[in-house]
Chain A
Amino acid sequence: MKRMVGPNNRASGWLLGRIADRLGWVLIAVCAMGSSSALETVVDGLGVRPGLRTPVDNLYKSPIQMALAPDGGTLYVVCERSRELLRVDLETRSVTAGLGLGRYPFQVLVGADGKQLFVSNREDDRVSVIDARAMEVTHTLVTGGDPHGLALSEGLGHLIVANMQSDDISIIDLDAKSEVKRIMAGHQPFAIASDPEGRFVYVTNQLTNPVPFREAPSCEITRIDTRTLLVEGRTDIVGGCVAQGASVTPDGQWVLIAVEIPKNLIPETQIYQGWMVTYAIAVMEARPNGRIGVILLDELDFYYADPFDVVCSPDGRRLYISSSGVDMVSVLDFDRVKEVLKVNTDRIGADAEELETIARHLGLSSEYAVARIPTGKNPKDLVLSEDGSTLYVAQRLSDSIGIIDTERLEMVGEIDLGGPDEVTLLRRGEYLFNYAEISFQKQLSCNTCHPENHVDGLIYDIAVDGGLGGNLVDNRTVRGITYTDPFKWSGKNPDLARQEGPRAAQLFFRSHGFEGPDRDAMVAFIESIPLPANRHVPADGTLTPAQQRGKVVFERAYTNDGRYIPIGNRCLTCHEPPYYTNRSLCDVGTRAHFDTEGTFDTPQLNNVAESGPFLHDGRCWSLEEIWTLYNPFDLHGAANDLTKQQLNDLIQYLKTF
């Protein structure tokens, strides 16, 4: 099915969406095709998923990850949006070859001899294996859901893949070309850093593991012995979230992780004191369950939002960090960092209390920050030349590679990857979404709390609506939210324009909201964000027996003992397809003592399994808890008569939405 509405037809699109909910998209499509030439057709492969109002803009390259060939003269660049792998000649600074990839490609990894390349294709759950010279895909490897970071084992016999959606790590035998085991990871495993020998790899997990209600987040670094292919340690960055790029120092002693330190346990009014979110590098001892010291990138009145990648110079003395929210690369003196952390050989000497202070000290970065180098838009991956003299920066929203001279510490050139000069409405919106310019002291971008256009898994005290400490709310996704209005858990925002305008100004940025054309661009971009494929639906679309049984429970009108379930107390009534929301406020008995009201927006349930924690204040880390703990009076659907088997079946069905 195709969506038939465009960005300049939001009002009609909204109306169509409303009608479509009830009459079906096929009918609307037929009508629309015959009546309006202004409507655009969405041809993106994900167009069949609900929630896509504005077409995905695939004109651009959007370089996201890079890898240097062993000869040092060739750079491979993955272009996320155009779904390409580009080969760039660094001497001529030009693109010499390109190869079409799968959907949402991410990392490129060069085999040891440089003859083979590996690229993760996130939406296809595959890794492409590529003949580097011919630039041809030789075969593909099946992975878990949303393959992201890649690494090779010692001896190069196994490929290690971080699967963001399925929260696990695939170990693939490269001779057999198949997965040999799946290791459970933390939450949303993101990147993999390998030590110089390849003996140990460290997997960053972007989001927090489940933590008790109103406790600090804690994201995991998973250490794997690539010889035994066993997990040897799981270290938590306590207080950290959105852990992304990582690298190991050349001496193999330290693991460096780009991470956010959110302050979601206190009211957001504290943004003025830098207490909304800060950005840091976690320095971890490279051993099982090694200690971690966190040092901030930020300054007292300026924040280096959304750190994405970190690399270390060959001599181990400098760190380079890309801050994609402020278009900047920070350069840190690692010797000074180690002094701050009181490092003694390969151990952090600072005690726990000192580490707490360091991790929150906004005045410290001047101790170790050597330079801040402006870059193109939305810098992501960083790659250093072998001698460390040149730093390449993937400038995602500039469609270019920035070249930094690490002696002069300045940008000395740029490689144009061939994207269009025109900036479309969507592109403008995407940049605004990812750029922290709008917020007070550039403290945060939309992407800060919505990495991957999704959620950060945190609960916030937005303060204004309920006063300090009141109305705690779980962060909600921005994927596929078109037609799920109203917005916010309170349902106070009738549309995205209001959400991104005055509401954003008041609640988040403490400066001003998006206005005029910027607001239009922002809304268009958010409306273009698709839902990823639902991996819980079997490939042939036929529900499993458990899912089918769950569907019966979801749609039932009678309890197990034959009592009639009033229409208002059935699952289907409030969570009607295709978005599984009735877009109304409902009281499901979940009002907490700090809530000013007991009715909440009925959330859409598409890809619900990936959007935890659950309920309006995020008190549930599993779907089960919604009914086992927080539905004692059957106000959240008649469910207390369900057997454990039926509840399990119901949850399996919910995951297919």
Chain B
Amino acid sequence: MKRTMMFGCLWLMGVCSIGWAVEVEVLPASAPLGQLTGLADLNQYPPVCLEWKTLTVKEGLPNDHIYWVETDKLRKDRVWLGTDNGVVCYGIADGSIEVIQPKDGLGHQAVMSVAVDHLTGDVWAATFGGLSWISGGKVRRNFDQFNSGLPNNVVYCVITEGETVWTATTAGLGRYHYKTDEWEIFTSLNMPTDENWCYNLCQGGGRVYVAAWGGGIIEYTLETGRFQHYLDPDNEFEIDLFPHDGLVHNITTSPAFHDGLLWATTYFGMSVYNYRRWRGYFDHDSGLASNFINYARAQPGTHNGWICTDKGLSVLNYDTNRWVTYTPIDGHGPRGTVELWEGGERQKVFETESTIGHNFVLNVDFLDNTVWVGTSHGLSWAKLPQHISPVIQGE
């Protein structure tokens, strides 16, 4: 019953949003870039990437569903992918593709998340069959709920923090201290949530953030070991009754934190918290491609949030409320459109010869001046415009 209501509301919101969209001229892809700046200075927008490349099964990927993208910030020469058929190590310079699958010891073919340990360079893969430790190019061990303290075999996300590895599982949160081989488990028994289904994780600012399915955002402060819980003040409502009053929905899909901003995505819109006030964003009042958001990642040093939705990739600059949204034409390109928004007003739409691989966008990450995007039809990447340089130092 609740689900019927939920989708009913979604449909209504979708219909309403049609009326709010600003009709603007669509410039063809062949239009000179100068024309684009007639209306808006691109420098004032989040990154506008015009040339995209995409890697799919045709080029050697084991599967086109790219659940996770993790750039190797230690080695800087490779990108790790979590796919529906194993872990992929993509060599940036030579385009090499190395695949690690269950036959190589991986816990399961469905890899929902990959993390690179910022100290050791080891790789951790969250799979539907446990947590796999990859080092020296090989799976060295698979931690599961039977042979270790891992809460559950269905692992949705993994991150590393200090000398610990955090896992979000369907039966709670696991923290593995690899120096001491100890596991901590956080569930509704010892953290402030009724929901054990932990969906996504991030860390920053001395805290670990958890997106719990139906449980909002749970914040864990590393120094004190204390939890803070963020819930939708409207509770069970599927629409946001009071704007900017807090989290827009309790069914959260990802947290992201950088430079003092906490980004929280849901299947019903997005919230950003600057530790003073919350802001809510929906597809009907902003440049957000869709309220159905799979994931968001904060771009370090910019206050830009890259938001992965089922209808495209949106980028919001929190300070200016300007948006750029990338959408493949016909859902999968290769041509696409780029929309520029200011708040809820669409300013410009133009076509591009290339775009992201699919409008169902699952994940995103950055390495130096390149953005890497995981979609349900391959891995896409583009150079970030040169004018986009970090404006915020540190956190």
> Are A289 and B136 CB-contacts (below 8 A) given A181-B120, A622-B147, A644-B171?
yes
Q: Is B18 an interface residue when CB atoms closer than 8 A count as contact?
A: no
Q: Is B242 an interface residue when CB atoms closer than 8 A count as contact?
A: no
Q: Is B39 an interface residue when CB atoms closer than 8 A count as contact?
A: no
Q: Is B229 an interface residue when CB atoms closer than 8 A count as contact?
A: no
> Are A231 and B120 CB-contacts (below 8 A) given A288-B136, A288-B137?
yes
Interface residues of A in 173-195 (CB under 8 A from B): 180-184
Chain A: minimal CB distance from B165 (Å): 11
- Taking a contact as CB atoms under 8 Å apart, the answer to whether B149 and A625 are in contact is no
Chain A residue nearest to B163 in the complex (CB): A182
- Taking a contact as CB atoms under 8 Å apart, the answer to whether B146 and A629 are in contact is yes
Interface residues of B in 126-180 (CB under 8 A from A): 133, 135-138, 140-141, 145-149, 151, 163, 171-172, 178-180
For B146, what are the chain A residues with a Cβ–Cβ distance below 8 Å?
A: 624-625, 628-629
Q: How many residues of A contact B (CB 8 A)?
A: 38
For B163, what are the chain A residues with a Cβ–Cβ distance below 8 Å?
A: 181-182
A282 to B219, CA, bound (A): 50
Q: Is A621 an interface residue when CB atoms closer than 8 A count as contact?
A: yes
Q: Is B259 an interface residue when CB atoms closer than 8 A count as contact?
A: no
- Taking a contact as CB atoms under 8 Å apart, the answer to whether A648 and B149 are in contact is yes
Q: Is B109 an interface residue when CB atoms closer than 8 A count as contact?
A: no
- Taking a contact as CB atoms under 8 Å apart, the answer to whether A643 and B179 are in contact is no
Q: Is A166 an interface residue when CB atoms closer than 8 A count as contact?
A: yes
A644 to B185, CA, bound (A): 8
- Interface 1/0 per residue, A161-180 and B, CB below 8 Å: 00000111000000000001
For A288, what are the chain B residues with a Cβ–Cβ distance below 8 Å?
A: 136-137
- Taking a contact as CB atoms under 8 Å apart, the answer to whether A181 and B137 are in contact is no
Q: Is B75 an interface residue when CB atoms closer than 8 A count as contact?
A: yes
Q: Is B51 an interface residue when CB atoms closer than 8 A count as contact?
A: no
A222 to B185, CA, bound (A): 30
Interface residues of A in 592-618 (CB under 8 A from B): 609
For B149, what are the chain A residues with a Cβ–Cβ distance below 8 Å?
A: 624, 644, 647-648, 651
A232 to B135, CA, bound (A): 8
A646 to B181, CA, bound (A): 16
Chain B residue nearest to A622 in the complex (CB): B147
- Interface 1/0 per residue, A624-657 and B, CB below 8 Å: 1100110000000000000111011001100000
A232 to B78, CA, bound (A): 14
> Are A232 and B187 CB-contacts (below 8 A) given A621-B147, A628-B146?
no
Q: Is A122 an interface residue when CB atoms closer than 8 A count as contact?
A: no
For B172, what are the chain A residues with a Cβ–Cβ distance below 8 Å?
A: 644
- Taking a contact as CB atoms under 8 Å apart, the answer to whether A168 and B136 are in contact is no
Q: Is A539 an interface residue when CB atoms closer than 8 A count as contact?
A: no
For A182, what are the chain B residues with a Cβ–Cβ distance below 8 Å?
A: 119-120, 163, 178-179
A182 to B179, CA, bound (A): 7
Residue from the list B136, B184, B189 in contact with A231, Cβ < 8 A: B136
> Are A234 and B185 CB-contacts (below 8 A) given A644-B149, A648-B149, A651-B149?
no
Residue from the list B135, B179, B181 in contact with A234, Cβ < 8 A: B135
For A645, what are the chain B residues with a Cβ–Cβ distance below 8 Å?
A: 185, 187, 189-190
Residue from the list B121, B179, B180 in contact with A230, Cβ < 8 A: B121
For A374, what are the chain B residues with a Cβ–Cβ distance below 8 Å?
A: none
For B181, what are the chain A residues with a Cβ–Cβ distance below 8 Å?
A: 167, 609
A400 to B203, CA, bound (A): 56
Residue from the list B121, B147, B148, B182 in contact with A546, Cβ < 8 A: B182
For A231, what are the chain B residues with a Cβ–Cβ distance below 8 Å?
A: 120-122, 135-136
Chain A: minimal CB distance from B173 (Å): 11
Q: Is B237 an interface residue when CB atoms closer than 8 A count as contact?
A: no
- Taking a contact as CB atoms under 8 Å apart, the answer to whether B74 and A648 are in contact is no
- Taking a contact as CB atoms under 8 Å apart, the answer to whether A625 and B121 are in contact is no
- Taking a contact as CB atoms under 8 Å apart, the answer to whether B189 and A234 are in contact is no
- Taking a contact as CB atoms under 8 Å apart, the answer to whether A624 and B147 are in contact is yes
A235 to B140, CA, bound (A): 10
Q: Is B183 an interface residue when CB atoms closer than 8 A count as contact?
A: yes
A147 to B15, CA, bound (A): 67
> Are A546 and B184 CB-contacts (below 8 A) given A230-B120, A644-B151, A645-B190?
yes
Chain B residue nearest to A625 in the complex (CB): B147
For A629, what are the chain B residues with a Cβ–Cβ distance below 8 Å?
A: 146
- Interface 1/0 per residue, A365-407 and B, CB below 8 Å: 0000000000000000000000000000000000000000000
> Are A648 and B183 CB-contacts (below 8 A) given A209-B140, A230-B120, A628-B146?
yes
For A536, what are the chain B residues with a Cβ–Cβ distance below 8 Å?
A: 180
Residue from the list B120, B121, B137, B171 in contact with A289, Cβ < 8 A: B137
- Taking a contact as CB atoms under 8 Å apart, the answer to whether A228 and B75 are in contact is yes
A447 to B22, CA, bound (A): 81
Chain B: minimal CB distance from A141 (Å): 16
- Taking a contact as CB atoms under 8 Å apart, the answer to whether A168 and B148 are in contact is no
Chain B residue nearest to A223 in the complex (CB): B136
Residue from the list B135, B141, B184 in contact with A210, Cβ < 8 A: B141
- Taking a contact as CB atoms under 8 Å apart, the answer to whether B135 and A628 are in contact is no
- Interface 1/0 per residue, B54-79 and A, CB below 8 Å: 00000000000000000000110000
Chain A: minimal CB distance from B124 (Å): 11
Chain B: minimal CB distance from A263 (Å): 25
Chain A residue nearest to B139 in the complex (CB): A234
A548 to B16, CA, bound (A): 58
- Taking a contact as CB atoms under 8 Å apart, the answer to whether B185 and A648 are in contact is yes
Q: Is A47 an interface residue when CB atoms closer than 8 A count as contact?
A: no
- Taking a contact as CB atoms under 8 Å apart, the answer to whether B136 and A183 are in contact is no
For B121, what are the chain A residues with a Cβ–Cβ distance below 8 Å?
A: 228, 230-231
Residue from the list B122, B151, B185 in contact with A184, Cβ < 8 A: B122
For A647, what are the chain B residues with a Cβ–Cβ distance below 8 Å?
A: 149
Q: Is A233 an interface residue when CB atoms closer than 8 A count as contact?
A: yes
Chain A: minimal CB distance from B140 (Å): 6
Interface residues of B in 83-138 (CB under 8 A from A): 119-122, 133, 135-138
Q: Is A144 an interface residue when CB atoms closer than 8 A count as contact?
A: yes
A628 to B130, CA, bound (A): 15
Chain A: minimal CB distance from B189 (Å): 7
Chain B residue nearest to A536 in the complex (CB): B180
- Interface 1/0 per residue, B219-242 and A, CB below 8 Å: 000000000000000000000000
Chain B residue nearest to A627 in the complex (CB): B146
Interface residues of A in 204-228 (CB under 8 A from B): 209-210, 222-223, 228
A288 to B189, CA, bound (A): 45
A288 to B121, CA, bound (A): 15
- Taking a contact as CB atoms under 8 Å apart, the answer to whether B119 and A181 are in contact is yes
A647 to B174, CA, bound (A): 14
Chain A: minimal CB distance from B154 (Å): 13
- Taking a contact as CB atoms under 8 Å apart, the answer to whether B148 and A622 are in contact is yes
Interface residues of A in 539-563 (CB under 8 A from B): 546
A22 to B112, CA, bound (A): 54
For A624, what are the chain B residues with a Cβ–Cβ distance below 8 Å?
A: 146-149
Residue from the list B137, B147, B179 in contact with A166, Cβ < 8 A: B179
> Are A144 and B75 CB-contacts (below 8 A) given A184-B135, A628-B145?
no
A228 to B136, CA, bound (A): 13
- Taking a contact as CB atoms under 8 Å apart, the answer to whether B190 and A234 are in contact is no
For B184, what are the chain A residues with a Cβ–Cβ distance below 8 Å?
A: 546, 648
A166 to B189, CA, bound (A): 31
| 18 pairs, CB–CB < 8 Å, chain A vs chain B | A144-B179, A167-B181, A180-B119, A182-B163, A184-B133, A209-B141, A228-B121, A230-B75, A233-B136, A546-B182, A621-B147, A622-B148, A628-B146, A644-B151, A644-B171, A647-B149, A648-B149, A652-B182
Q: Which 3 A-B pairs have the closest CB atoms?
A: A234-B136, A230-B121, A628-B146
Residues of A in contact with B (beta carbons under 8 Å apart):
144, 166-168, 180-184, 209-210, 222-223, 228, 230-235, 288-289, 536, 546, 609, 621-622, 624-625, 628-629, 643-645, 647-648, 651-652
Q: A289-B137, A644-B171 are in contact. List 19 more A-B contacts (CB 8 A).
A: A166-B180, A167-B181, A182-B178, A182-B179, A184-B140, A223-B136, A231-B121, A231-B136, A234-B137, A288-B136, A288-B137, A536-B180, A546-B182, A546-B184, A609-B181, A622-B148, A624-B147, A645-B190, A648-B185
Residues of B in contact with A (beta carbons under 8 Å apart):
74-75, 119-122, 133, 135-138, 140-141, 145-149, 151, 163, 171-172, 178-185, 187, 189-190
